Structure 1
Amino acid sequence: MLKKLSLLLVVTLLSTSCVSKKLYTDLEDKYADLKKENRTLSDENTDLKTMLNQSKNDLAKLQMEYDKTFSERNMLQGEYDAIQSNLENLKASYDALEKNSSAAIADNSKKNRELLAQLESKEQALAAENARLENLKQQLESRSQRVAELESVIANKDAAMSKLKDAVSKALTNFEGKGLTVEQRNGKVYVSMENKLLFESGSWAVGSQGRQAVKQLGTVLADNPEIAILIEGHTDNVPYQGNAQLSGNWDLSTKRATAIVNILRENNAIKPENLTAAGRGEFAPIASNDSAEGKAKNRRIEVILTPKLDEISKLLNEI
């Protein structure tokens, strides 16, 4: 049934060039939205790391302020103890002088009142510092907990992506040396497949070997429902001269990306909303187009796997 529908689609597209133009325009718009979203995700990831570093700096400043306040509190405590001792000594002197001189008693009484006033002032200052110290301590503990949670979430995301990269590499080990590479960078996993593994020259029909590779990749992706999957098609800089139905390399790269999406969608465990197809034509090369080897590397499909950052954003808003 799928083959019949595909044949009907090809016949329809061959019979009317305006449909191809509309498809190209829709795909081009979708790719522009995707590119914007991808750039937003990349900027968000950079902002999140910047905010994490800022949170760590704020935490360090808060720790310094806490230590300084703790030292000042201890100094006030020492002054308070010294005044308390002095007061007790004066009280003893007062008791002794009370028998000898009313003038001395009056002077001692004045000093007592002054010391009591100082003592009361120090007690108030000490109470205020203790309250401030307790408040800073609570802020420090709360901030430390949030930073620890954020570091844990980021570490878990990185670990999950490393695990995903290992699982993808293991699933595609039979295709090593056949134009397939798996890399992890910038918090994402990149699966690159050269066209020699997937397509005939000028075609967007996936061959049997390429289909098997994509299906094995889909098996891993089905076990990771929280991963966004972007499929990008790329070409070399040689102008497309094949089917007149296509407008050029950009159109061809888009159709190839869509062909990979359609194979992945055959796996019902993969969420369709996680899939995006985009064509980039010859405008994102990874090698020079001056040699046949470089052109072969540029003719590729890239599957970009990105984790969701909702949990990290929530923690940053709470810090």
Structure 2
Amino acid sequence: MLRKVIVLSGFALLSVSCVSKKKLTQAENKLEMRDAEIAKLQEENEICEDKQTSMEDDLMMYQAQIEKLQDENENTLRLSEDGSLESQSTRNKVNRILSQVDDSRLAEAKNFQDSLNIAFEENIKASLRNKLGENAEYADDLKVKVHQPMVEISIGESILFKSGSAFVNPKAYQLLEHISKILQSESSMMIRVEGHTDNQPVTTNTYIKDNWELSLKRSASVVRIFEDKFNVEGNRIIASGRSHYAPISDNSSAEGRQQNRRTEIKLAPDLKTFMEILGR
């Protein structure tokens, strides 16, 4: 009888132990799921904060440009209400630029303002590509977008960096020096340098943790070149990184990923002064 009691007690203890272990495992699983959810929410929050910062910085640049445009004279590039250029001298310059632009590009224009933007894009791009030097083979990785008053210069990874590296290739110094002359032309102009990556994890380097860090370090490297080597005031430059969250192409192909690995320089210059500098 005593033996039966002992055996039954043993089974009872074993049963309780199994139930407790099962509950512990369930609790641990729930905790892991909660931690994963918290991490995801934190990442989404960081993305939202980064987007908000980017929008605020762009707004500052627009406001500065608007204030500047209000004080410019009649020879500054402006459009009247009917879309015509107010300055005859400026009109003549723009017509000369338009005559050199490929017809297929001009066909993209829906109105005169679009034609004007395309003309500036092509002229700026041609001027900058002349400064590529040994990087001339990567000319297609240098792109320009004009949405007045904003100018966006996109420089591909192949021009500025080696794969997975945040150190600027010295071969790109001539191009950056040319851009720095534009940045120095207007002391009130704010400049934003944005680093972008593809969606592939960083695996070739131990000093860079992930794409967030890679994009930030790359933009900071370009900013340091502008400030330390070409004397652009650091208080006018914003360095930021967008990781892989602002792609311009599909990351599913090697070609798309290559286009996404880029550094963008965003500024709001006086385009008339801008064109004069580029022509030097």
TM-score class, shorter-chain normalisation, is 0.5 to 0.7
Q: 1:279 aligns with which of 197, 222, 241?
A: 241
Q: 2:183 aligns with which of 206, 212, 221?
A: 221
SS in 2 for 1:227: coil
Q: 1:242 aligns with which of 161, 186, 204?
A: 204
Moved more, 207-216 or 158-167: 158-167
User: Which amino acid in 2 is paired with 1:188?
Assistant: M
Alpha-carbon distance in structure 2 between the residues aligned to 1:291 and 1:153: 49
| Residue in 2 that maps onto 1:257 | 219
Alpha-carbon distance in structure 2 between the residues aligned to 1:154 and 1:39: 27
- Provide Cα deviations, 1:173-197, integer angstroms capped at 9, x if missing partner: 2436251112211420011000011
Show the 5 A alignment for 1:203-218. Answer: 203-218=165-180
Structure 2 residue 194 is the aligned partner of structure 1 residue 232: yes
| Residue in 2 that maps onto 1:38 | 57
Alpha-carbon distance in structure 2 between the residues aligned to 1:279 and 1:174: 25
Gaps of 5+ in 2: 1-45, 80-89, 91-115, 271-280
Q: 1:188 aligns with which of 141, 147, 150?
A: 150
Q: 2:127 aligns with which of 160, 163, 170?
A: 170
Distance change (3 Å), C-alpha of 1:304 and 1:239: same
SS in 1 for 2:268: strand
Moved more, 158-167 or 35-44: 158-167
Q: 2:264 aligns with which of 302, 308, 313?
A: 302
Show the 5 A alignment for 1:9-24. Answer: none
Alpha-carbon distance in structure 1 between the residues aligned to 2:197 and 2:71: 39
For the pair shown, the structure with the greater C-alpha radius of gyration is 1
Distance change (3 Å), C-alpha of 1:231 and 1:154: farther
TM-score (norm 2): 0.53
User: Which amino acid in 2 is paired with 1:229?
Assistant: I
Show the 5 A alignment for 1:57-206. Answer: 156=76, 169-175=126-132, 177-206=139-168
TM-score (norm 1): 0.47
Alpha-carbon distance in structure 1 between the residues aligned to 2:227 and 2:125: 17
Distance change (3 Å), C-alpha of 1:300 and 1:154: farther
Alpha-carbon distance in structure 1 between the residues aligned to 2:63 and 2:172: 34
Alpha-carbon distance in structure 1 between the residues aligned to 2:174 and 2:47: 28
Gaps of 5+ in 1: 1-26, 49-148, 309-319
Q: CA deviation at 1:208?
A: 2.0
Does structure 2 conserve the Cα–Cα contact (< 8 Å) formed by 1:171 and 1:220? no
User: Which amino acid in 1 is paired with 2:207?
Assistant: Q
Does structure 1 conserve the Cα–Cα contact (< 8 Å) formed by 2:146 and 2:152? yes
Q: CA deviation at 1:152?
A: 6.6
Does structure 2 conserve the Cα–Cα contact (< 8 Å) formed by 1:254 and 1:278? yes
Does structure 1 conserve the Cα–Cα contact (< 8 Å) formed by 2:215 and 2:243? yes
User: Which amino acid in 2 is paired with 1:224?
Assistant: E
Q: CA deviation at 1:167?
A: 5.9
Does structure 2 conserve the Cα–Cα contact (< 8 Å) formed by 1:230 and 1:305? yes
| Greater fraction of residues in helix | 1
User: Which amino acid in 2 is paired with 1:273?
Assistant: N
Moved more, 281-290 or 161-170: 161-170
Distance change (3 Å), C-alpha of 1:31 and 1:275: farther
SS in 1 for 2:208: coil
Distance change (3 Å), C-alpha of 1:151 and 1:269: closer
SS in 1 for 2:172: helix
Distance change (3 Å), C-alpha of 1:34 and 1:307: farther
CA RMSD of aligned residues (A): 3.9
Moved more, 28-37 or 257-266: 28-37
Q: CA deviation at 1:215?
A: 1.9
Does structure 2 conserve the Cα–Cα contact (< 8 Å) formed by 1:225 and 1:270? no
Alpha-carbon distance in structure 1 between the residues aligned to 2:266 and 2:62: 16
